[in-house]
């Protein structure tokens, strides 16, 4: 292994990730592990230079104080404990682990080297993946989103043709999105890629379904069924690759922190399809995942793309989806993205997209009355997607986008700009 490692043991602090980030910012790799890790498990981690016992406000779980296994003290690693009164370490402190103390612990007490960088991380993960997978095959659902794309690139580097990627085009992708997945992964990275054109199947299932939750359930459920059908056709697959990243694990709940929301990347596969998981990004934060993707040679537009919901344009073609309105969403979204890129807004605005409601309004085209749909533009900024504010777009840019949509997108005679922050509105409309 290339990188030195500082282990943080989670004894109920909400600051675990903050400390992990601070250590990584010092150029030293750091991982958070549960408090009940055994000496044997810890012994399997390579290049451990020191351990931080990180206690805090959640130190009682089910009426019992969380504690580490006493045998960890005998392993001989440098240890520091923070807010952990039961600690038996010598370097013990309460309150905040400030920068000075942290640097002293990491570099002086542990003698760790600042050798954490993406190149080393990729080499380490490549080695770990090869050790785990050996000569077996890994299946991966490749949506084209940042996380699944980076996992795919990492697995291609580690095991090449032993990776089987399945890209399901549910017909709700943005313009040219599926084509770019095929171009990058099959043509350029020579991945073993199965492309499933499931557009008709998804649109068929969604016909006349107007309820947003129902639409989401159908899209999610159908996705799993299509993926499962492909998995059953393949032989000798033992592993399932997943784009799980560190925030997914935190939000799904740790042993000392409650669940915020459950995350399923390819959740809900049937019990009889038994796979062992390969999750090479599970210790990375989102910005680190992007850096990893760049280092692996993925195109910047794939790595720095804005968030895109799993149900895709399905939740932006409001109400019951029709092909006509879906096309209007797709074309107007492409124009918006093109114009935002030209104006440099793609690097400034967190998320921007268009939606098309399921009602019409009166207008005039070529001196005749028309009754057509409207496009709503939404552009927001946020840090964590829990709250969001509206981007104050330059009027000239808005005018240009509006004119292009009215000129180029069929069945549309009106364009609106959504001025609503979150809350009370959510970012998406459905």
> Would you give the DSSP letter of residue 57?
T
| Interface with ligand XMP, residue 428, by CB under 6 A | yes
Closer to ligand XMP by Cβ: residue 86 or 426? 426
| Shortest reach from residue 99's CB to ligand XMP, in Å | 32
Contact letters for ligand XMP, residues 368-387 (x by CB under 6 A) = -----------------x--
Q: Give me 118's structure tokens.
A: 């993406």
Rounded CA separation 242/151 (Å): 7
Contact 347, 199 (CB under 8 A): no
Closer to ligand XMP by Cβ: residue 145 or 241? 145
Q: Cβ-count burial of 415 within 10 angstroms (0-12 exposed, 13-18 middle, 19+ buried)? A: buried
Q: Scanning the structure block, which residue is given the tokens 């990243």?
A: 245
Tell me whether strands 351-355 and 368-381 are parallel, antiparallel or unpaired.
antiparallel
Contact letters for ligand XMP, residues 406-425 (x by CB under 6 A) = ----------------x---
Q: What angle do CA 195, 201, 202 make, to 5 degrees?
A: 90
Binding residues among 107-166 for ligand XMP as defined by CB under 6 A? none
| Residues forming beta bridges with residue 50, ordered by sequence position | 6
| Interface with ligand XMP, residue 242, by CB under 6 A | no
| Shortest reach from residue 316's CB to ligand XMP, in Å | 9
Closer to ligand XMP by Cβ: residue 50 or 243? 243
| Shortest reach from residue 302's CB to ligand XMP, in Å | 16
**DSSP secondary structure letters along 294-314:** HHTT--HHHHSPPP--TTGGG
Closer to ligand XMP by Cβ: residue 308 or 417? 308
Rounded CA separation 55/58 (Å): 8
| Interface with ligand XMP, residue 265, by CB under 6 A | no
Which member of 169, 254, 351, 413 binds ligand XMP (CB under 6 A)? 351
Contact letters for ligand XMP, residues 270-309 (x by CB under 6 A) = -------------------------------------x-x
CA 198, 202, 207, 210 torsion: positive or negative?
negative
Closer to ligand XMP by Cβ: residue 295 or 428? 428
Closer to ligand XMP by Cβ: residue 200 or 384? 384
| Interface with ligand XMP, residue 312, by CB under 6 A | no
| Interface with ligand XMP, residue 311, by CB under 6 A | yes
| Interface with ligand XMP, residue 427, by CB under 6 A | yes
- Count of residues that bind ligand XMP according to CB under 6 A: 10
Core vs surface per residue 183-210: b (16+ CB within 10 A) or e: ebbbeebebbbbbbebbebbbebbeebe
Contact 24, 30 (CB under 8 A): yes
Rounded CA separation 242/129 (Å): 12
| Interface with ligand XMP, residue 341, by CB under 6 A | no
Residues near ligand XMP (CB under 6 A)? 307, 309-311, 351, 385, 422, 426-428
């Amino acid at each position: 292994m290339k990188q030195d490692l500082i282990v943080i043991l989670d004894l109920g602090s909400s600051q675990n990730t903050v400390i992990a980030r601070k250590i990584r910012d010092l150029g030293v790799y750091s991982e958070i592990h549960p408090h009940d890790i055994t000496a044997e498990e810890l012994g399997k981690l390579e290049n451990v230079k020191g351990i931080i016992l990180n206690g805090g406000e959640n130190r009682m779980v089910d009426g019992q104080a969380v504690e580490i296994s006493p045998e960890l003290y005998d392993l001989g690693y440098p240890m520091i404990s923070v807010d952990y009164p039961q600690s038996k370490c010598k370097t013990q402190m309460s309150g905040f682990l400030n920068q000075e103390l942290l640097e002293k612990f990491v570099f002086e007490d542990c003698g760790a080297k600042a050798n954490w960088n993406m190149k080393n991380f990729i080499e380490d993960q490549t080695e770990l993946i090869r050790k785990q997978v050996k000569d077996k095959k890994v299946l991966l659902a490749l949506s084209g989103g940042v996380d699944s794309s980076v996992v795919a690139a990492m697995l291609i580097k580690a095991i090449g043709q032993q990776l089987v990627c399945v890209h399901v085009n549910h017909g709700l992708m943005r313009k040219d999105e599926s084509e770019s997945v095929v171009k990058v992964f099959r043509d350029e990275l020579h991945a073993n890629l199965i492309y499933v054109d499931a557009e008709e199947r998804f649109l068929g299932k969604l016909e006349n379904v107007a309820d947003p939750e129902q639409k989401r359930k159908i899209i999610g459920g159908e996705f799993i069924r299509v993926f499962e059908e492909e998995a059953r056709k393949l032989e000798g697959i033992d592993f399932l690759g997943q784009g799980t990243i560190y925030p997914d694990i935190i939000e799904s709940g740790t042993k000392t922190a409650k669940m915020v929301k459950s995350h399923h990347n390819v959740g809900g596969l049937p019990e009889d399809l038994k796979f062992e998981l390969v999750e090479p990004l599970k210790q990375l934060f989102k910005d680190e995942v992007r850096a990893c993707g760049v280092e692996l040679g993925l195109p910047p537009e794939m790595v720095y793309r804005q968030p895109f919901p799993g149900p895709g344009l399905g939740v932006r073609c409001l109400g019951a989806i029709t092909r006509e309105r879906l096309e209007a969403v797709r074309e107007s979204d492409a124009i918006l993205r093109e114009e935002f890129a030209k104006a440099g807004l793609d690097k400034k605005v967190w998320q921007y997209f268009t939606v098309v409601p399921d009602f019409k309004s009166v207008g005039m085209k070529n001196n005749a009355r028309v009754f057509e749909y409207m496009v709503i533009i939404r552009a927001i900024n946020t840090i964590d997607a829990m709250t969001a504010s509206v981007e104050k777009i330059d009027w000239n840019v808005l005018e240009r986008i509006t004119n292009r949509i009215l000129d180029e997108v069929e069945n549309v005679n009106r364009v609106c700009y959504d001025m609503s922050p979150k809350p009370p509105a959510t970012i998406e409309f459905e």
